[in-house]
Amino acid sequence: MKTQVAIVGGGPSGLLLGQLLQTRGIDSIVLERRTKDYVLGRIRAGVLEVGAVNLLRQAGVGDRMDREGILHDGTIISYGDEIFGINFKEHTNAGVMVYGQTELTRDLYDAREATGGRIIYDVEDVQICDAKSNTPYVTYTVDGVAHRITCDFVAGCDGFHGVSRNTIPDDVRVEYEKVYPFGWLGILSETPPVADELIYASSERGFALCSMRNPVLSRYYIQCSLQDTVEDWSDEAFWSELKRRLPKNVADKLITGPSIEKSIAPLRSFVTEPMQWGRLFLCGDAAHIVPPTGAKGLNTAASDIYYLFNGLAEYYQDGATTGLDAYSEKALARVWKAERFSWWMTNLLHRFPDENQFDQKMQAAEIAFLRTNRAAQSVLAQNYVGLPY
């Protein structure tokens, strides 16, 4: 088989790239290790920056998001019983769109199917070959049968556990990592959200987050130990711990119900450099991971796709490689800022097993500063709604 861009991985990064390319008549094939149902079964964050929203519209997949997504002009932070808001609109003239990643991925699949884009599921043994030459190719098997795709470029959109990153030789690749000593236990429940905006809650018992998907579907998280399993947490235990971490007036309003999903995710910051090697370009989770505090995962993937798409569009329009040559540098410059913000928010709001009283005082002082200082609020707002592309 032959295509212009072989896309390894059919998560949000790969699918979004495929749709954007399609708008310029650039052909791609998406290779996905799992099935569509498996990919759609994964629950991830649900907050989109302005840049991601615009890119989805540009890709022709913004209609349902614009109808069903909820615009948020700010967020709420609580610290013990203290609670305050940060108004994004006031500081940045922008807001964020709350729209579940599962829905967005579904829209991307629907668009790919409607436009006749090729996706091959259940692929195994994917290998990216000759990426340093002008004639790269990708090999894989399906049901034990070997296949090969020749292409101009390969987009490595296969997530943290994919094969793309490791295609770049060890002596070229530099990896930066920080693993946090806790995880997030999350539940989805068919209950109305406790507030109109997200609440990021820091308490003596640890962090909690009140988020939502729509007026009748809520998403809540609590910081948990890395040793915990979902079996350790009944719904009742989850709700009771969540309430203890929220200000009393919020906890009293919380409507609880059975969970329809429950999972634990570890927290990690990770970046690999460079994000390009020859004709292979890494995008999204294949190149970087952020802890979920601040919801930057999907948004950072979207900015990678923006830079790569523009580089490819330029190449196919007039043969110039300026955008492609600058891809790694441009993408990484923005990635590192999102890494910094997620790391900062994680440090600000969580309890660390080895923290001492001094560390706690530092957190309290930083929260107090944020609560009253407009410049500090503006920094948070600018980062949360998303730095410019």
| Of residues 23-62, those binding ligand PHB (CB under 6 A) | 45-47
What burial class does residue 228 get, using C-beta atoms within 10 Å of its C-beta: 0-12 exposed, 13-18 middle, 19+ buried?
middle
Q: Is residue 360 within 8 Å of 206, Cβ to Cβ? A: no
Tokens of 245: 């971490």
384 is catalytic: yes
| Annotated active-site residue in 109, 137, 180, 200 | 200
Q: Residue 301 or residue 367: which is nearer to ligand APR going by CB? A: 301
Angle of helix 50-58 relative to helix 12-23, nearest 10 degrees, comes to: 50
Using CA atoms, how far apart are residues 197 and 74, in angstroms rounded to an integer? 7
Using CA atoms, how far apart are residues 70 and 362, in angstroms rounded to an integer? 34
215 is catalytic: no
What count of other Cβ atoms lies within 10 Å of the Cβ of residue 371?
A: 16
163 scored as a contact of ligand APR (CB under 6 A): yes
| Of residues 182-221, those binding ligand PHB (CB under 6 A) | 198, 209, 211, 219
Interface pick for ligand PHB out of 223, 293, 299, 303 (rule CB under 6 A): 293
297 scored as a contact of ligand APR (CB under 6 A): yes
Q: Which residue has the tokens 């990896």?
A: 175
**Which one of ligand APR, ligand PHB, none is in contact with 95 (Cβ closer than 5 to 8 A by kind)?**
none
161 is catalytic: no
The residue of the chain with the least Cβ separation from ligand PHB equals 211
33 scored as a contact of ligand APR (CB under 6 A): yes
9 scored as a contact of ligand APR (CB under 6 A): yes
| Annotated active-site residue in 140, 221, 316, 384 | 384
Q: Residue 191 or residue 297: which is nearer to ligand APR going by CB? A: 297
Pairing state of beta strands 28-31 and 5-8? parallel
64 Cβ neighbours under 8 A, 6+ residues apart: 103, 107
389 is catalytic: no
Interface pick for ligand PHB out of 10, 284, 292, 386 (rule CB under 6 A): 292
Stretch that binds ligand APR, among 11-19, 55-63, 336-344, 353-361 (CB under 6 A): 11-19
The CB-of-291 to ligand APR minimum distance in angstroms stands at: 11
| Annotated active-site residue in 12, 193, 291, 292 | 292
**Which one of ligand PHB, ligand APR, none is in contact with 211 (Cβ closer than 5 to 8 A by kind)?**
ligand PHB
39 scored as a contact of ligand APR (CB under 6 A): yes
296 is catalytic: yes
* Residue positions annotated with a catalytic role: 72, 200, 292, 296, 384
Q: Where do contacts with ligand PHB occur on this chain (CB under 6 A)? A: 45-47, 198, 209, 211, 219, 292-295
Q: Where do contacts with ligand APR occur on this chain (CB under 6 A)? A: 8-14, 31-34, 39, 44, 101, 123, 126, 157-159, 161-163, 284-286, 297-298, 301
